[in-house]
Amino acid sequence: MQLFGKNLHHNTDWPTLVSSCISGDRKAQKALYDALSGKMYAVCLRYMGSRDEAEDVLQDGFITLYSKLDSYTGAGSFEGWARRIFVNTALMSLRKKDVLKQSEDVDAAWNITSGDPSAVQKIGYRELSKMISELPPGFRTVFNMYVIEGYSHKEIAEALGVSEATSRSQLQRARTLLQSKIKEKY
């Protein structure tokens, strides 16, 4: 799709697009949705695990995004700023479901051997994404936040209302489960 003579999927003129959205331009709002929805849906799906829940979070995320557009200062990447909104929307949804309620508050004192690296190399992105989406919600959430989004355990603990030890424990358990799934498959 083209808007303002720019291809929205590459080299998007974010400042112009955001400004047009703020002023109520429906075509610009649709263009913004078209430019972000695929990437943000993938983020939502990684956190939520099911398509239906991901679609709900995507919709809620866009409502939040449109309502907060005027707070985007232009500092940093617009996509990064938007991604944070969608991650936070997914986290709010998961907090409502209390996905970590059955977590144990223990330090990750697991003796896990590193998996067979050749097995990890054999697995494709889609297959790995599917395995991640099949993790229990608490494991999946912490894994996504730490490994994919780059949050620290302190940030995860604050965002989810748990201890840093719980975050570390959930991450270790997610890794262990993923390793066993990979070993099982290969």
Each residue's pLDDT tens digit, 30-72: 999 999 999 999 999 999 988 999 999 999 999 999 999 999 9
In angstroms, what is the C-alpha Rg of the chain? 19
If pLDDT is split at 50, 70 and 90, which confidence band does 94 have?
confident
CA 45 to chain centre: 8
Q: Quick one: which H or E segment has residue 3?
A: strand 2-3
Sequence-distant (≥ 6) Cβ neighbours of residue 92 within 8 angstroms: none
Q: 63 or 132: which carries more pLDDT confidence? A: 63
pLDDT confidence of residue 79: 94
Q: State yes or no: pLDDT of 182 exceeds 60.
A: yes
| Topology of domain 117-185, CATH | Arc Repressor Mutant, subunit A (1.10.10)
Domain 2-97 classification at class level: mainly alpha
pLDDT confidence of residue 104: 40
What DSSP string describes 116-185? Answer: -HHHHHHS-HHHHHHHHHTS-HHHHHHHIIIIIS---HHHHHHHHTS-HHHHHHHHHHHHHHHHHHHHHH
Q: 122 or 3: which carries more pLDDT confidence? A: 122
For the chain, domain boundaries = 2-97, 117-185
Query: Rounded to two decimals, what is the model's pTM?
Result: 0.69
Report phi then psi at 2, rounded to 5: -115, 140
